[in-house]
Amino acid sequence: MKALSRRLMEIPPDASDLMLDEAREIIRQLSNLNLRWNITALDDFIGERQRELGVGLRKR
C-alpha cells in the first residue's frame, strides 16, 4: 500500500495520458485493498488525489 501511495503522489496533475492511466490503475488497486482494511485516511487520500488529478468521481 505504501509503495502504491508513494507512486500515486509522484504523478503530477499535468501528467500525460499514460501517467493518468497509471494513476487510475493505482487508485483502483488501492481502493480494492481498502475494501478489506477500511482505512479512513487511505479513502480520504484516494479521493483527494482523484480530485487533484481529475481522474474520476468518488461515490459517497
Cell numbers of 49, please?
488525489
Backbone dihedral region for residue 4 (phi beyond 0: left; psi -120 to 50: alpha; all else: beta)? alpha
- Structural domain contains residue 59: no
**Total number of domains constituting the chain:** 1
- Structural domain contains residue 20: yes
- Structural domain contains residue 42: yes
For residue range 23-34, what is the model confidence (pLDDT) as tens digits? 999 999 999 999
Domain around 48? 2-7+16-53
Residue 28 CA to residue 24 CA, distance in Å, equals 6
- Structural domain contains residue 40: yes
- Structural domain contains residue 43: yes
- Structural domain contains residue 46: yes
Q: What is the pLDDT of residue 34?
A: 96
CA-closest candidate to residue 22, choices 36, 34, 9 = 9
Residue 7 has pLDDT above 90, yes or no: yes
- Structural domain contains residue 58: no
Q: How far apart are the first and last CA of the chain?
A: 22
Q: What is the pLDDT of residue 57?
A: 61
